[in-house]
Amino acid sequence: MDCLFCKIIAGEIPSSKVYEDENVYAFRDINPQAPVHVLVVPKTHICCADKIDAANSACIARIFEAIPKIAAQEGLTNGYRIINNCGEDGCQTVKHLHFHILGGKKLPENMG
Ligand code: 5GP
Ligand code: ZN
């Protein structure tokens, strides 16, 4: 499958890994929008949040179990933002489900 994040998970494309377990991979965004900008992805390919259902939703729990560990590791003791862009109107550019963790500064209030 021609998926950028599947290739990153497989190690075929290099990434700056910050966390990995059996189900989840996390790495630094190549174009950071905040002092800390990490992408958290399920190791299985799911194209977007709109394709979550009862059969695959366990990966969401695994991702959200990983996020506090990643935040602690990154020193985000004063909070952070979790973002998921979904589909065309959500401006999702990489079609492998991912959550952005942004932090390390006071983030803008505007959510678009
Ligand atoms: P989206 O716009 O789909 O929510 O977010 C995709 C994110 O992936 C963007 O923030 C972009 O900077 C990041 N990105 C795109 N290509 C690469 C890459 O090859 N490596 C890394 N680490 N991040 C990437
Ligand atoms: Zn993929």
Q: What is the DSSP letter of 29?
A: -
| Probe target for ligand 1 pocket from 31, 47, 96, with the most ligand atoms within 8 Å of CB | 31
pLDDT for position 1:
76
| pLDDT above 90 (res 111) | no
C-alpha of residue 99 to centroid of ligand 2, in Å: 13
Q: Is 103 helix (H, G, I), strand (E, B) or coil?
A: strand
Q: Give residue 63's pLDDT band: very low, low, confident or very high (50, 70, 90).
A: very high
| Probe target for ligand 1 pocket from 94, 99, 100, 102, with the most ligand atoms within 8 Å of CB | 94
pLDDT for position 15:
98
Convert the pLDDT of each residue in 71-98 to its tens digit. 999 999 999 999 999 999 999 999 999 9
Query: Mean pLDDT, the chain, as a whole number?
Result: 97
Is there a catalytic annotation at residue 100? no
Q: What is the DSSP string of 44-98?
A: S----GGG--TTTTHHHHHHHHHHHHHHHHTT-TT--EEE---TTTTT--SSS--
Q: Give residue 112's pLDDT band: very low, low, confident or very high (50, 70, 90).
A: confident
Output the pTM of the full model. 0.98
